[in-house]
Amino acid sequence: MFLDRFRKQPPARAVLALYDDPDRLLNAAALAKEHGLEGIDAFTPYPVHGLSEALGIKKSWVPYVTLVMGLSGAALGLTFEIWTSAFDWPINVGGKPYVSLPAFIPVMFECGVLLGGTMTLAALILACGLPNLKSPILDRNFTNDRFGLYVPEYGPGWNEERILRILNRTGAVDVKVIRV
């Protein structure tokens, strides 16, 4: 697909630690960060509070899309209203001015919300690399009751034994190495 070109290739190796408790996952994430592991991700059944801070994930850029698209939608809506009512075919309706600004506000607002909202969903889908039906599901219980910490191979500094040693101390239910 077209979008695949912009997606990161999955790593050849990764370490996956499984937990049954979000607090242990949080501690493990903080520990992994302390030890300087890079590119860590976590899998959780619900958004765990404070996890993205613990993993050092940057704040999402989706709200900027909402803002820009919302304002563009409103601007486009208003421009279109003015163009049709005052320029393309000006019609005198009840003696009102061609550019009846107060009367144009509701449609302008709705256009802003429409574009802002639909583009927020589109941005979310794009940001998460969805639809993604191909990449493997690492554990079926990540959408149920299992929490996972995922350390993919990030380069020459990647040391499997060291990562296993760190994660084995975090109270995980299981720590395993995944090879593609």
Partner 1 sequence: MSDVALSPAVPAEPLIDPRKSFADVNQDVSAPLERKPGMLWKVCFGITALLTLQFFMEIGYQMYKGIGIWGLNHPVGWAVDITSFVFWIGIGHAGTLISAILHLFRQRWRTAINRSAEAMTIFAVMTAGLFPLIHLGRTWFAYWLVPYPNWRFLWVNFRSPLIWDVFAVTTYLTISICFWYTGLIPDFASLRDRSTGWRRAIYGVLSLGWRGSERHWQHYERAYMMLAGLSTPLVLSVHSVVSFDFATSLLPGWHTTIFPPYFVAGAIFSGFAMVVTLLVILRKVFHMEEYVTLQHLENMNKIILVTGMMVGYAYATEFFVALYSGNPFERFTFLNRARGPFAWSYWIMVTCNVVVPQIFWFKKLRRSLPVMFVVSILVNVGMWFERFTIIVTSLHRDFLPPNWSYYKPTIFDYSVIVGSFGFFFMWFLLFCRFFPAISMAEVKSVLWSAKKSAAREAPRAQEPAHVS
Binding residues for partner 1 (CB under 8 A):
20-23, 41-49, 51-52, 55, 57, 59-60, 62-63, 66, 70, 80-81, 84-85, 88-89, 91, 93-94, 96, 100, 103-104, 106-107, 109-111, 113-114, 116-118, 120-121, 123-125, 127-128, 130-135, 137-138, 140-146, 150, 173
How far is 6 from 10, CA to CA, in rounded Å?
A: 12
CB-nearer residue toward partner 1: 75 or 114: 114
Q: Which residues contact 163 (CB under 8 A, 6 or more apart)?
A: 15, 32, 37, 151
Kindly state the smallest distance separating residue 156's Cβ from partner 1, in Å.
23
Kindly state the smallest distance separating residue 161's Cβ from partner 1, in Å.
25
Report yes or no: 150 and 41 within 8 Å, Cβ to Cβ. Answer: yes
Across 122-152, b (16+ Cβ under 10 Å) vs e yields ebeeeeeeeeeeeeeebbeebeeebbbbbbb
CB-nearer residue toward partner 1: 124 or 177: 124
CB-nearer residue toward partner 1: 55 or 161: 55
Kindly state the smallest distance separating residue 115's Cβ from partner 1, in Å.
10
CB-nearer residue toward partner 1: 12 or 130: 130
Half-sphere exposure (Cβ direction) of 180: Cα atoms closer than 13 Å: 12
Kindly state the smallest distance separating residue 158's Cβ from partner 1, in Å.
19
Kindly state the smallest distance separating residue 160's Cβ from partner 1, in Å.
21
Helix or strand run (H / E) with residue 180? none
Q: Exposed, middle or buried by CB within 10 Å (0-12, 13-18, 19+), for 117? A: middle
